[in-house]
Amino acid sequence: MILIVDLSWKARSLSRDEFVGPVARIVSGAGQEWREVHFSALSSEDIQSASGIILCGTALKDNFFAEKAEEFAWLRDVRVPVLGICAGMQALCLVHGGFLRLACEIGMTTVRVTQPDPLLGDPPSFEAYELHSFACDPPPGWVVSAASDRCVQAVHHPDRPLYGVMFHPEVRNDQVVERFCALCRE
């Protein structure tokens, strides 16, 4: 069961259908069971029962999750694969010692793959949808596997299955989420 975590400023917000719904649809399409929970209501039982965890994005103006970074401390010890999307990647970076800086991107952008990454596949570059106010300076030792002209677009932990993408794969890049689902099944 994949746990899909809503990072919006409140549970059942008007942003839910925009940032959680499309990801859940891809996970369903990949034949995976899933369950959804708001980050403020996440329990250790939720985490232990998941075969993988996806942290979803938020509205452009919604950076509340970053003020609550300690609520994501569980990411330091999590054993199952995690995919952080946009806000989710920012949360991953923050709890592992990375930093955020202002760097806004809106709309389609060219993402260049710079290192092999099991979620990004072969092409040297692809077009991706961006919607973020902040970019990540990744935690020390993390692998940067893709970048745009403005900022880092994909990172992963050197040893553990923790992945972050700054672009929104649920828009025109479903295969990133599908590959993550496949990785959770292994």
**Any catalytic annotation for residue 168?**
yes
Residues 42-61 as x/- pattern, contact with other proteins by CB under 8 A: -----------------xxx
Residues 10-29 as x/- pattern, contact with other proteins by CB under 8 A: --xxxx-xx--xx--x----
Cα separation, 113 vs 143, whole angstroms: 12
**Which positions from 64 through 103 interact with other proteins, judged by CB under 8 A?**
none
Q: Which of 36, 56, 86, 181 is catalytic?
A: 86
**Any catalytic annotation for residue 151?**
no
Q: Which is nearer to other proteins, 64 or 74 (CB)?
A: 64
Q: Which is nearer to other proteins, 41 or 60 (CB)?
A: 60
**To the nearest whole angstrom, how small is the minimum distance from the Cβ of residue 49 to other proteins?**
26
Burial 68-105 (b: 16+ CB within 10 A, else e): eeeebeebeebebbbbbbbbbbbbbbbbbebebeebeb
Cα separation, 28 vs 2, whole angstroms: 10
Instruction: Work out the angle at residue 32's Cα, subtended by the Cα atoms of residues 31 and 33, and round it to the nearest 5 degrees.
Output: 125
For 104-127, give the DSSP string: EEEEEEEEEE-S--TTT-S-SEEE
Q: Which of 11, 41, 68, 106 binds other proteins (CB under 8 A)?
A: 106
Q: Which is nearer to other proteins, 46 or 174 (CB)?
A: 174
List all residues 6 or more positions away from 159 whose beta carbon is below 8 Å from its beta carbon: none
Q: Which two tokens stand for residue 6?
A: 């809503």
Tell me if 168 sits within 8 A of 126, measured CB to CB. no
**Which positions from 153 through 172 interact with other proteins, judged by CB under 8 A?**
170-172
Q: Which is nearer to other proteins, 90 or 145 (CB)?
A: 90
Q: Is residue 145 a contact point for other proteins (CB under 8 A)? A: no
Neighbour count for residue 7 (Cβ, 10 Å): 29
Binding site for other proteins (CB under 8 A): 12-15, 17-18, 21-22, 25, 59-62, 104, 106-108, 129, 131, 133, 170-172
Q: Looking at the annotation, which residues are catalytic?
A: 86, 168, 170
